[in-house]
Chain A
Amino acid sequence: MNFSRLDWTVLVFTLLLIIVYGVYRSRTSKNLEGYLLSDRQMPWWLVLLSIMGTQASAITFLTAPGQAYSDGMRFVQYYFGLPFAMVVVCITFVPIFHRLKVFTAYEFLEQRFDAKTRFLTSFLFLLSRGLSTGISIVAPSMALHFMLGWDFTVTNLIMGGLLIIYTVSGGAKAVAYTQQLQVIIIYAAMFLAAWWAIKMLPAGIGFTEALHIGGKSGKLNVITSGFTEKGFDWKDRYNIWSGIIGGFFLALSYFGTDQSQVGRYLTARSEQESKIGLLMNGLVKVPLQFCILLIGVLVFAFYQFNKAPAYFNLAHEKTMQQSANAGEFAAASQHYQQVQDEKSKTVTALGNALQQHDEAAVNQLRSQLQQEQQQAGLVRDSIKNIVKKTIPGSDGNDTNYIFLRFVGDYLPKGLVGLIIAIIFLASWSSIAAAFHSLASCTMVDFHKRLSKTPATPLQEYRWSQAYSLIWGLFCIVVAQFGYNLGNSLIEAVNILGSWFYGTILGIFLVAIYIKRVGGHAVFIGALMAEVTVIAVYSFDLLSFLWLNVIGAVGVVVFSGLLQVVFFGQSPKVKQKPAFEK
């Protein structure tokens, strides 16, 4: 890929701007409250941008358009549970955390249950967040590897290394202030890329026609019911029901119990500011995600008039051309081009029919396009299978590369640099918050809790920095192993989260709503629920979003039963706990 001097200038300037701004705004008290919670002085709009920046990683911007390109826009339904979750978090979790003035969400569990429940929950968080942060580093490292042609290990070390320097030195205040600038630049650049995709469409084909082309090819499937002729498909990943119910549990767990998010809104200067930040996130998240996915549909429409690669991973394409199966790969690619040429003719005719409002022709061309789209899909699947059997460790999926290939092949000089810059910025904003939360939990829930000798504020500050460094190194190692994860990275991270989030949420739900359940019952109940979640996933019984529901309901049911059967009616709360008004 050609990375011009202008691209380098834009990239370096944007990154320097963020670093200088971060350092300028990072002056804070050198103690635990200053380093981990910015002295609890943040206004609501900074909390909002920080929450958004933490949730939207580079994966969101890199692979979501690719997801829409291959599977349509139905992925947006995954976010339908989020606004409901924001309301519940504001009613239940925020008041408790603010009243107790906790550093981590898990401190509350020791006050409600006991130390072992706090350790277990914090450990589950560290495990899931540590692994998923490692996978999150793969996306930007992969993008650099793809765009600049550097070895993945080198790009992984650069990306992870820069992040470590940034997070270890910065603290929560640097994370929040830089996230503010990062989120603004990221969304501006993505909309610029979308505008450019529309601008490059042929004469007579505008935004509306592009939407019609996407819609008639089945890419604008924003709302899907999940029902087939055989009834409800429980393995269907994204539909309105799994989105609202499964997505609600996932979002509730993420925003209510995941320290990387709890740590963001605990920096607010008051309970009110935390709530407004969260509720505003509930208002803007779905429309913004819709817009990001729409970019994938615009890229799809663009490729109906321009030569689309049969396979989007350029590095694998080159490997295939020199492999033993090069002939088979070339034949399949040629077949794909023939199907694409046919499709281009149909799409052009469809564009004309739409302009002339010729309903009969539109209907006929729509059916034809859908058949050709199906055929193109089958040919692409066969190409993926050839790649899978040829390249060890690859599953042949190229969803993660679709948007990047478009950027590299078609966007003008300067804009390519800006898109690479947003990959850095989005990574920094979410991964920095994750490193920070991992360090917070290790420091507060384990080190400080188990330490027998009290440390000075400066020592605690230094230890927190050290833990940020250790977790950073751990994540770089995970990223190195995560490189060959073929599935869409955004799905990999969400699946991983679903293994643990339900159980963690269940523990909190019992803590808040079922006062008769004690520490022993919830501890064993949580372990049983986690085993159930892993079993359901291993036997592929349900789509992953339902794992959140199973984990949460599992903890509630198991711990309730254990309490009644083995631990009796105790511990009925004898006096009002500190977290209650």
Chain B
Amino acid sequence: MLPVKKEQIPVFRKWRYWYLLVIGFLLLLIVLFYFFTKYFA
């Protein structure tokens, strides 16, 4: 029986790093938006 071919995850070794990137980027945007709001008000 042939072994099941496991597909490569692009860029990172684990999906966990992809999830951290997405959440981390959102948090960064929220911080930037906060300062954006403060600065222009």
Instruction: Give chain A's interface residues, CB within 8 Å of chain B.
Output: 76, 80, 83-84, 86-87, 90-91, 211-212, 214-216, 218, 220-223, 240, 270-272, 275-276, 279, 282-283, 286-287, 290
Contact present for A87 and B22 (CB under 8 Å): yes
Give the CA-CA distance A80 to B29 in the complex, in Å. Answer: 10
Residue of B nearest to A270 (CB): B7
Interface string of B1-20 (1 = CB under 8 A from A): 00000011110000100110
Residues of A within 8 A of B23 (CB): 83-84, 87
Write the nearest CB–CB distance from B19 to chain A, whole angstroms.
5
Write the nearest CB–CB distance from B4 to chain A, whole angstroms.
12
> Which of A211, A218, A270, A290 lies in contact with B33, CB distance below 8 A?
A290
Contact present for A286 and B41 (CB under 8 Å): no
> Which of B19, B25, B30, B41 lies in contact with A216, CB distance below 8 A?
B41
Write the nearest CB–CB distance from B10 to chain A, whole angstroms.
6
- Given A83-B23, A279-B22, 14 additional A-B pairs, CB 8 A: A80-B26, A83-B22, A90-B19, A91-B19, A214-B40, A220-B41, A221-B37, A222-B33, A223-B34, A272-B7, A276-B18, A282-B22, A290-B29, A290-B33
Residues of B within 8 A of A283 (CB): 21-22, 25
Interface of B is mostly: helix
Q: List 9 A-B contacts (CB under 8 A).
A: A76-B33, A80-B30, A83-B23, A87-B22, A90-B19, A91-B19, A211-B40, A272-B8, A276-B10
Contact present for B37 and A222 (CB under 8 Å): yes
> Which of A83, A91, A215 lies in contact with B25, CB distance below 8 A?
A83
Residues of A within 8 A of B21 (CB): 279, 283
Count how many pairs of residues, one from A and one from B, have CB atoms less than 8 Å apart in the complex. Answer: 67
Give the CA-CA distance A290 to B28 in the complex, in Å. Answer: 14
Give the CA-CA distance A80 to B23 in the complex, in Å. Answer: 10
Residues of A within 8 A of B34 (CB): 222-223
Contact present for A279 and B7 (CB under 8 Å): no
Give the CA-CA distance A211 to B15 in the complex, in Å. Answer: 38
Residues of B within 8 A of A76 (CB): 33
Contact present for B40 and A272 (CB under 8 Å): no
Write the nearest CB–CB distance from A267 to chain B, whole angstroms.
17
Contact present for B26 and A83 (CB under 8 Å): yes
Contact present for B19 and A215 (CB under 8 Å): no
Write the nearest CB–CB distance from B40 to chain A, whole angstroms.
3
Contact present for B37 and A90 (CB under 8 Å): no
Give the CA-CA distance A282 to B21 in the complex, in Å. Answer: 10
> Which of A215, A275, A276, A290 lies in contact with B41, CB distance below 8 A?
A215
Contact present for A216 and B15 (CB under 8 Å): no
Q: Do A90 and B33 form a contact, CB below 8 Å, given A83-B26, A272-B7, A272-B9? A: no
Contact present for B30 and A240 (CB under 8 Å): yes
> Which of A214, A275, A286 lies in contact with B29, CB distance below 8 A?
A286
Residues of B within 8 A of A80 (CB): 26, 30
Write the nearest CB–CB distance from B28 to chain A, whole angstroms.
10
Give the CA-CA distance A352 to B37 in the complex, in Å. Answer: 21
Contact present for A215 and B40 (CB under 8 Å): yes
Write the nearest CB–CB distance from B24 to chain A, whole angstroms.
10
Write the nearest CB–CB distance from A276 to chain B, whole angstroms.
6
Contact present for A215 and B39 (CB under 8 Å): yes
Residues of B within 8 A of A86 (CB): 22
> Which of B8, B22, B37 lies in contact with A220, CB distance below 8 A?
B37
Residues of A within 8 A of B33 (CB): 76, 222-223, 290
Residues of A within 8 A of B19 (CB): 87, 90-91, 279
Residues of A within 8 A of B40 (CB): 211-212, 214-216, 220
Residues of B within 8 A of A83 (CB): 22-23, 25-26
Contact present for B10 and A272 (CB under 8 Å): yes
Give the CA-CA distance A270 to B23 in the complex, in Å. Answer: 24
Write the nearest CB–CB distance from B37 to chain A, whole angstroms.
5
Residues of B within 8 A of A275 (CB): 15, 18
Give the CA-CA distance A221 to B18 in the complex, in Å. Answer: 30
Residues of B within 8 A of A290 (CB): 29, 33
Contact present for B39 and A279 (CB under 8 Å): no
Give the CA-CA distance A8 to B10 in the complex, in Å. Answer: 44
Query: Which of A211, A216, A283 has its CB near the most chain B CB atoms (within 10 A)?
Result: A283
Give the CA-CA distance A271 to B6 in the complex, in Å. Answer: 11
Residue of B nearest to A220 (CB): B40
Give the CA-CA distance A218 to B9 in the complex, in Å. Answer: 44
Residue of A nearest to B40 (CB): A215
Contact present for A222 and B22 (CB under 8 Å): no
Residues of A within 8 A of B22 (CB): 83, 86-87, 279, 282-283
Write the nearest CB–CB distance from A107 to chain B, whole angstroms.
24
Give the CA-CA distance A83 to B18 in the complex, in Å. Answer: 11
Residue of A nearest to B39 (CB): A215
Write the nearest CB–CB distance from A325 to chain B, whole angstroms.
38
Residue of A nearest to B8 (CB): A272
Residues of A within 8 A of B8 (CB): 272
Residues of B within 8 A of A87 (CB): 19, 22-23
Give the CA-CA distance A223 to B27 in the complex, in Å. Answer: 12
Give the CA-CA distance A290 to B36 in the complex, in Å. Answer: 12
Write the nearest CB–CB distance from A248 to chain B, whole angstroms.
11
Residue of A nearest to B7 (CB): A272
Write the nearest CB–CB distance from B17 to chain A, whole angstroms.
11
Residue of B nearest to A86 (CB): B22
Give the CA-CA distance A82 to B15 in the complex, in Å. Answer: 18
Residue of B nearest to A81 (CB): B26
Contact present for B15 and A90 (CB under 8 Å): yes
Give the CA-CA distance A290 to B25 in the complex, in Å. Answer: 14
Query: Which of B8, B15, B34 has its CB near the most chain A CB atoms (within 10 A)?
Result: B15
Give the CA-CA distance A76 to B34 in the complex, in Å. Answer: 12
Q: Do A279 and B18 form a contact, CB below 8 Å, given A83-B25, A223-B30, A270-B7? A: yes
